[in-house]
Amino acid sequence: MKPREITDGIYAMGAIDWDRRLFDSLIPLPDGTSYNAYLVQGSEKTALLDTVDPSKVGVLLAQLADVPKIDFVVAHHAEQDHSGALPAVLARYPDAKVLATPRGRDILLDLLDLPPERVEAVEDGQELSLGGRTLRFVYLPWVHWPETMVSYLPRDRVLFTCDLFGSHLATTDLYADEARVYEPAKRYYAEIMMPFRKLIQRHLEKVKSLDVSLIAPSHGPVYGRPAFIVDAYSDWVAAPPRNTVVLPYITMHGSTGMMVDHLVGALAQRGVAVEQFNLTVTDSGKLAVSLVDAATLVVGTPTVLGGPHPNVVHAAHLVAALRPKLRFASVIGSYGWGGRAVEDLTGIISHPELELLPPVLCKGLPRADDFAALDALADAIASRHKESGFV
């Protein structure tokens, strides 16, 4: 892919990774991804904003073949999918300086063993003149690492946001097709940004205070209508949960599966939407996306060696790590002779803002009393949702 001009003197660069299907050896990438870099030319100086993943160094260097000089490389975020090509870029341009937040400088030196004299720290709000246009650096810590910042070009009204507003989407589209990008952007938010949603809520106010006509992230396409993605983030971060239950589960010999089927039906009868996930086949990214808007989590598990099924434990840890805006949770499942499934799972997922509803655990096959208890749980969930105004 050749460099593509966004506006006079600003070029989109980077690499499309069509075939990557796993990020950080953890996050599924059903739509691939991209690693975006941007070249900003002034009348006096040239800046490269971010680089690419180490696997795509050759792609970026080829795009820079006709760029005789780079004065600055802005590292918004130190993670290697954006910083990994820095050593090669600095070797190509021996006079270039890397600019990062103070914390970013430290992390870059740790991760990449860069020459310390070539990495400089910039302050929040500091401006850098390139001649005819000025870059302004804005700190946005914990989006999603502690050192992150964004860059703003006031004259051109372009905001370069690195991971914020990104989408894992391999596409040749320079500008976002909003209908197409919404799901990958929401998945990206759910998997990467949701643990920091309260901080992001505050950072969105900084973004909204800027006069922006384009948002250029470092994954996925450019947003030609910034309100689309800013409004989506505002909803994902701060809107009340919806009248939805997320139900991840495992069944080994059918008992837990029978309980799940009954509860799903009981909730549907009471007007509560359910998103059900059999963890033997579930894409963890889809589970994460479902948690963005859900009000309630119900975890279904059989008992294995006295505790919950290991796949259910993994899902519970995922929920705890993502910190969604859930308000209620419960556990259902079965056992043969005893165990600590409920205690173990609630110990993982509980937090001060989460109300734990009475669990339903049956011995062996569920019977009439167990189904009645599931109906009572459905009543409790529907009642809590109604009282809270979730729709």
User: Are residues 259 and 204 part of one domain?
Assistant: no
pLDDT per residue as tens digits for the range 33-46: 999 999 999 999 99
Residue 281 has a pLDDT of 96
CATH classification of the domain holding 287 = 3.40.50.360
pTM, 2 dp: 0.95
Is the pLDDT at 26 greater than 90? The verdict is no
Asked whether residue 207 is assigned to any structural domain, the reply reads yes
| Residue 160 β-bridge partners | 151, 216
User: Are residues 198 and 141 part of one domain?
Assistant: yes
User: Are residues 188 and 126 part of one domain?
Assistant: yes
Residue 391 has a pLDDT of 86
Asked whether residue 386 is assigned to any structural domain, the reply reads no
pLDDT band at residue 167 using 50, 70 and 90 as cut-offs: very high
User: Are residues 221 and 298 part of one domain?
Assistant: no
Asked whether residue 388 is assigned to any structural domain, the reply reads no
CATH classification of the domain holding 145 = 3.60.15.10
Is the pLDDT at 338 greater than 90? The verdict is no
User: Are residues 210 and 307 part of one domain?
Assistant: no
Domain limits at 165? 4-238
Q: What is the largest distance, in Å, between two alpha-carbon atoms of the chain?
A: 79
Least confident of 21-35, 157-171, 172-186: 21-35
Work out the average pLDDT over 172-182. 97
Cα angle 156, 157, 160 (rounded to 5 degrees) comes to: 100
Work out the average pLDDT over 181-207. 97
Asked whether residue 387 is assigned to any structural domain, the reply reads no
Asked whether residue 152 is assigned to any structural domain, the reply reads yes
Residue 133 has a pLDDT of 97
Give the end of a domain, one of 216, 238, 260. Answer: 238
Residue 50 has a pLDDT of 98
- Residue 197, token pair as written in the block: 């949603």
Work out the average pLDDT over 122-143. 98
Residue 357 has a pLDDT of 98
Is the pLDDT at 370 greater than 90? The verdict is yes
- The rounded distance, in Å, linking the Cα atoms of 391 and 384 is 12
Work out the average pLDDT over 65-79. 98
Give the end of a domain, one of 238, 265, 299. Answer: 238
Residue 114 has a pLDDT of 96
Give the end of a domain, one of 199, 217, 238. Answer: 238
Q: What is the mean pLDDT of the chain?
A: 97
pLDDT per residue as tens digits for the range 242-300: 999 999 999 999 999 999 999 999 999 999 999 999 999 999 999 999 999 999 999 99
The percent of residues above 70 in pLDDT, for the chain, comes to 100
User: Are residues 256 and 203 part of one domain?
Assistant: no
What total number of domains does the chain contain? Answer: 2
**For 50, which DSSP code?**
-
**For 210, which DSSP code?**
S
